[in-house]
Amino acid sequence: VQLQASGGGLVQAGGFLSLSCAASGRTFSNYVVAWFRQAPGKEREFVAAMYWSGRSGSTTYYADSVKGRFTISRDNAKNTVSLGMNSPKPEDTAVYYCTAGGPSYTGNYYRNNYYKTQIYDYWGQGTQVTVSS
């Protein structure tokens, strides 16, 4: 799976920014998808993730720091995953990475491991998000 992130840029605190990630190469719907971010001098951290259960729908996970403000979504027909960033804060400034993993993860396994970078096999190149105060 190849991933290409886009949509980053400069946004004012309290505004809105949408990141997009285009996937190609394999059956995208079989993979779990997530967004991580990395600020200068810090480790890469989990932001949001989605487990697609097919006809059962999907389960989303969010870091506490973005819960209620960010929304992850995916369009399997278009092979894209998005991150809507509502009311961003200056501390959200970072390089954002989309990632995919699996495709054989069970819901139970993913529920316990979604925040770990090591379970994801494919990473996009990252897109810079800068939030001004």
* pLDDT score for 9: 97
Angstrom distance (rounded) from CA 95 to CA 131: 11
How far apart are alpha carbons 60 and 75 in whole angstroms? 14
Radius of gyration in angstroms for the set of CA atoms belonging to the chain, rounded to a whole number:
14
- Tokens found for residue 34: 């997530």
Bridge partners, residue 24, by sequence:
2
Q: 15 by DSSP, 3-state: which? A: coil
Token couple for 50: 């989605």
pLDDT in tens, 83-130: 999 999 999 999 999 999 988 888 899 999 999 999 999 999 999 999
Q: State both tokens at 57.
A: 């729908």
CA distance 40 to 62: 21
Paired tokens of 4: 């290409």
Q: Is the pLDDT of residue 57 over 90?
A: no
- Compute, in degrees rounded to 10, the torsion defined by CA atoms 9, 120, 74, 8: 0
Q: Give mean pLDDT, residues 18-32.
A: 87
- The pLDDT value recorded for residue 89 is 97
